[in-house]
Structure 1
Amino acid sequence: MRYTGLGDFLSRGTKVLAKGPVALVFAEDAVEIDTTLRHHQQLGFTSVIVFMPTVFDLPPDLHDTVHRVDYDLRADGAVQTAVNRINDAAPGVWIYYCYNAEYLFFPFAETRTVAELLAFHTEERRDAMLTYVIDLYAGDLWRYPNAVSLDEAYMDRSGYYALARPDPANHNHPKERQLDFYGGLRWRYEEHVPQVRRKIDRIALFRAKPGLKLRDDHTFSDEEYNTYACPWHNNLTSAIVSFRTAKALKSNPGSTFDIQTFRWHNSTPFEWHSRQLLDLGLMEPGQWF
């Protein structure tokens, strides 16, 4: 099904939002749109909705299984606007959002569905899940000048850290159960990344509720949604492996000529398996076994 815009989708397509979890994919360019959509379909999302410019094409086999919304992502706050309006239209439904060339992984993803993941998370009285955005990059930028290769993808196996998140409303004391996470290409090439864009944490999975607002730093207006765990024990976290930063660094004239390769002594091939991310401590199974 194709919709001419967000308004058209919200007037004709809200039945898609009746049951979750629902995946929202925002296509900033034409890179790996099809693999992004198929990956999230295979995880078990009830519906996959892609927001993309009219000039981009979908493979014919996805026309009947993906809901396409013609959408201009160049406008300021385009992603936040779409997520917030979908939130208002689907109270109580679990929603996930990402960009093209990003792939969600969670503990035991090879044998369990995202619906099972969120059912357990809901039983633990959690309405949101912290997700770490882990940078992927092609090993050979001469062969893959846009830094994207699913077959030869690399990631950093170390170099990740967290800092306390100050609360301006409370004399900059640390916020309870909230941290700012850093690492990957945004850390290694921080001179090319604005400071407000260096964090790698994202609340990518959340349960919609009236009045909830996504902010431009990937956090929500309800501070409990931004916590990494409940007060009494560790909770599940997930990871999004993403070519987005690598693409940006190689397409930006201010950084592309400074980068001949993203590989360094802590690079390792990505195995496209949740076990690797668990072993590296890049997501947390919590009490889910």
Structure 2
Amino acid sequence: MQYDSLNSFLRTGAKALAQGPVALIFAEDDVEVDGTIQHHLNLGFKSLVVFMPQEFSLEPALADRIHRVTLTCAPRTAVFETINKVMKAAPDVWMYYCYNTEYLFFPFCETRTIGELLAFHSEERRNSMLCHVVDLYADDLTAAPNGVAPDRALLDKTGYYARTRHDTDGHPLERQLDMSGGLRWRFEDQIPYERRRIDRIAIFKTQPGLELRPDHTFNEPEYNTYSCPWHHNLTAAICSFRAAKALKINAGSNSNIQCFRWSNSTPFQWSSRQLLDLGLIETGQWF
């Protein structure tokens, strides 16, 4: 199905939001849009809603399996405004959001669906799931000058850090962490401070009054926690070329970066096992 605007989708696309989990994918540019869609179709989402400009092309076989909504994902606040409008239209539904060149991985995702994951997570009385945005980058920027190379992707195997999050008065927030690492840490002088965190509550269950803020956190504090008080919970990862792409597209940083590879780079295996071994996702009590 294709819709010429967000308002048109919200008026006539109720079926796409009737049953979760629903994936919301935002195409900021035309890089790897097909690959991003195909990856998330393979995870078992009930619906994929893809927001993209009219002029972006899409493989016909994929177009028949998604709901395409015409939208320009700029300025960046447009994405958050869109998600909040969709949430308001579909309460009590599991949702996930990402951008093109991003790929969701969760424990055992090769053999278990996103629906199975969230059924278990719901039984643990959790309405949100912490995701770590793991930066991917091309091994050779001469061959892939935009930093995107799915068939030759690298990631950092070390260099990830967690800091306790504080409120505006400086008090620690319970079970909330600010995560850093990857390209955003190694090239932090090229990235605005507010864009350096790699934690994102990208999987959540909608409810009345819930709002997503531009820093990828919610107005409901419990949604921003990494686990419940009594034991550890599942976490997921969004493996993303987005930072690499931004660093190479931006004129201010492009000329300063000739290579993303360093001594702690390792080939990305496109598997949840690798992410589990590196400690970038956790199973919690899910075996």
Answer whether TM exceeds 0.5 for this pair.
yes
Counterpart selection for 1:200 from 194, 198, 201: 198
Distance 2:140 2:64 in 1: 36
Distance 1:17 1:93 in 2: 8
Counterpart selection for 1:261 from 255, 259, 262: 259
Matches within 5 A, 1:55-74: 55-74=55-74
Question: Cα offset for 1:76?
Answer: 5.1
Match of 1:35 in 2: 35
Question: Cα offset for 1:177?
Answer: 0.2
Question: Cα offset for 1:72?
Answer: 1.5
CA deviations on 1:93-128 (whole Å, 9 max, x unpaired) are: 100000000000000000100000000000000000
Distance 2:268 2:160 in 1: 16
Distance 1:120 1:97 in 2: 20
CA deviations on 1:203-254 (whole Å, 9 max, x unpaired) are: 0000011110000000000010000000000000000000000000000000
Distance 1:192 1:53 in 2: 28
Distance 1:137 1:64 in 2: 30
Counterpart selection for 2:243 from 230, 233, 245: 245
Matched, 1:144 2:141: no
Distance 2:76 2:162 in 1: 29
Counterpart selection for 1:231 from 215, 229, 232: 229
Structure 1: gaps of 5 or more residues: none
Distance 2:191 2:107 in 1: 30
CA deviations on 1:11-65 (whole Å, 9 max, x unpaired) are: 0101110101000000000000001001101000000010001111111111211
Amino acid aligned to 1:110: E
- Match of 1:255, SS state, is helix
Match of 1:120 in 2: 120
Matches within 5 A, 1:162-177: 162-168=162-168, 171-177=169-175
Distance 2:158 2:8 in 1: 45
Amino acid aligned to 2:224: N
Amino acid aligned to 2:121: H
Cα root mean square deviation, aligned: 0.6
Amino acid aligned to 1:224: E
The size of the alignment, in residue pairs, is 287
Amino acid aligned to 2:250: N
Match of 2:3 in 1: 3
Match of 1:161 in 2: 161
